[in-house]
Amino acid sequence: MVMTSLKFGTSGLRGLVSELVGLPAYAHVRAFCAMLREDGAAGPEGEVLIGRDLRASSPLIAAQCAQAVADAGLVPVDCGALPTPALALAAMRRGAPAIMVTGSHIPDDRNGLKFYRAAGEIDKADEARILTWHAKLALAALPETSTDPASEEAMAAYRARYVAFFGDRALEGLTIGVYQHSSVGRDVICDVLAALGASPVPLGRSERFIPVDTEALRPEDEALARQWAGERELDAIVSTDGDADRPLVADETGRFLRGDLVGALTARFLGADAIVTPVTSNSALDRPGLFATVVRTRVGSPYVIAGMAQATAGGAGIVVGFEANGGVLLGSEVAREGRRLAALPTRDALLPILSTLALVKREARPLSAIAAEARFATALSNRLQEVPQDRTLALIERLDAQDPTFRDEAFARHGGVAARDRRDGLRLTLGSGATVHFRASGNAPELRVYVEAPTPEAAEALLAENLAFAAAQTR
């Protein structure tokens, strides 16, 4: 058996570029098309939309995906470089499936494929079927093809979606820094902010791919935000990850808000009566009276999508899903002042960015004050890179069941372990009331560590302690 880094994780197929480019990308797309044909789920005229991010490897992989679509007897539609949610919206509007070539936030030597049916992102059952078809297909050739660009149509619809709902004066008077780096959404964010009356200030544009991870920010990104906030009078600084489906929002001081807080503010602005969010999101979300319904899931957009369907079936009117990494999914239509915003059940960065800024405008208060009012516990997260998943799982098993003495000794200075949650990785509630959560990343060989504590200082110390602990145990 040939070992490969390619696998389905929390959102799509990802792995090393060297193991994806060529026949592997082609074969997985042929398998996706075979599943669509089996279900009679190809789009009008057999269309399959294809988009990509700004990684160096993405144009070639997108061309190989297009060839696979054509060889499957379907019609590839080249949407060019655009945000993942813009591609998903275009696919839903055309009633067609789609493929996004992106590695999101992971380094440039890796890439991936995200698959969409006409109704939205594929689920875990679809992933299993793609792998089954992949195993059935005998493929050995990779011919060349060409496609017709349809990028501007998709981008225009994405812009229009938010300008029509928020209104052309929604952000009037706000000055917003836009950290552009190598995000595929860097220009459309500025366009939409300007259309809504704000003054966008482009910052930090890069022609080299920068792997900005909204869940584990690089120190240099945090330093840049503080520097820009100190040099300019900005009401906020916004950005996204590489494929623009996860937001970054910093307040007027340059301090970044966690993604789950941004998601909660978005849900509040939209008037959600139900939120769906993974176990890694802040425990403050479960506070009585904040939202009528809170559904907790495993980490990953397919699980959040399933949870949104559960909330809708339970009678919820406005359902908003979000993750600690910032991605926000709209599970139902929102109507306000004669304007309607259609559901978009895929991670999107622009909706939470605009919703958070609209709160600043509506309440005429600094974002830092609005964020503080939410009274979230101080929550931090980071990662250990190049940690094989089996080592992470071995640590989790030892902490959970195999060795109670080891677990108790490891957290003795924090009052031991009061409770354990195995819905995704291992989340430990300590005797002190703080929490520590270990899980293997679904997208890369990384061990993720999440903590909550009463103060920023305590959270920073707890995170550093447990990163060091996990590193020692997984060597």
Task: Evaluate whether 240 touches 179 at the Cβ level (below 8 Å).
Answer: no
- Residue 137's φ and ψ, nearest 5 degrees, are -75, 135
Which string of DSSP letters, residue by residue, matches 120-177? EE--HHHHHHHHHHHHH------------B-HHHHHHHHHHHHHHHH-TTTTTT-EEE
Which string of DSSP letters, residue by residue, matches 283-313? GGGGSTTS-SEEEEE-SSHHHHHHHHHHHHH
Selected catalytic residue, list 104, 182, 183, 281? 104
Which string of DSSP letters, residue by residue, matches 36-86? HHHHT---GGGEEEEEE-S-TTHHHHHHHHHHHHHHTT-EEEEEEE--HHH
Active-site residue 104, yes or no? yes
> How deeply is 144 buried, as exposed, middle or buried, from its count of CB atoms within 10 A (0-12, 13-18, 19+)?
exposed
> Other C-beta atoms within 10 Å of 135: how many?
9
Task: Evaluate whether 352 touches 328 at the Cβ level (below 8 Å).
Answer: yes
Label residues 219-237 b or e (16+ Cβ within 10 Å = b). eebeebbeebbeeeebbbb
Residues with a known catalytic role? 104
